[in-house]
Structure 1
């Protein structure tokens, strides 16, 4: 049974989410809790968000990161594109199927960044990484968006996630209107 779910979204201030994430707990206690934290990736910087998520996962919390397409990477888009295209060329000469694996989806790129911040090479140390789930919901600046970068290096589903996000927003608007009507009727019933 999950106790709390937090939806965190702060435009342009990636460190503001640490205020609600940290709880006062003794450092020595690392028991897995049933608490699930849901983070909205929009507007956060890649490394800072990954560091915060890594710390929470190591403390035993379960994390969900959604809308990875909106995560910002510092530096302009062209520079980040060149860096990632250079990374795509790296492989093992004798058997390229052994790695390194080059992910194209923004959620997988974020997962790989997260894995680099966690000890993961033994079975015991893979447990924190299993507590992390990353979801895709939606796909001129000093920041490069994950969705645009992933699309340029081979991710094929940017248009699909955009249409799915529009459908989700339409459903959410209907649900919210229905909820407001129900709340209004409840208040009227309580007055009588």
Structure 2
């Protein structure tokens, strides 16, 4: 890499490595590559959505013990990418926000259960009439 080129970014390294795994010479694979989007960190439209875990893709299950591996962000950082720390800080902020939102959801669920119990106490005998028509 010469002096005029910039350091590779993780998102520009991710697409070619995915391209190797996709049958890119077929129409289906070409369309899949066209739909592929790669990001550094979690971008704004997706940071508020619920994150899912695919158990079969977990590092603990897929990587063999003793085998060497590297992370794309770490590799890019070592060859000169300057935004690794920024992405890490943004990820920490996102995790803090998610933790606050989770605690709020738990609190609301507790309040709902408490309100349902209170309503059942107040209704008492009327609950027998309402159960067949409960939505």
Q: TM-score range by the shorter chain?
A: 0.5 to 0.7
Of the three residues 117, 127, 132, the one matched with 2:31 is 127
Is this contact kept in 2: 1:104–1:150, CA < 8 A? yes
Match of 1:112 in 2: 16
Q: Which has the larger radius of gyration?
A: 2
Shift of 1:155: 1.4
TM-score (ref. length: structure 1): 0.41
- RMSD of the TM alignment (CA)? 3.0
How many residues get paired? 92
Change in 2 beyond 3 A, CA 1:180/1:103: same
TM-score (ref. length: structure 2): 0.56
Of the three residues 79, 92, 99, the one matched with 1:153 is 79
C-alpha distance in structure 2 between counterparts of 1:103 and 1:114, whole Å: 20
Q: Kindly indicate whether residue 107 of structure 2 is the aligned counterpart of residue 181 of structure 1.
A: yes
More relative contact order, 1 or 2 (CA 8 Å, 6+ apart): 2
Q: Which runs of 5+ in 2 are unaligned?
A: 43-66, 119-135
C-alpha distance in structure 2 between counterparts of 1:181 and 1:109, whole Å: 42
Question: Which structure has greater helix proportion?
Answer: 2
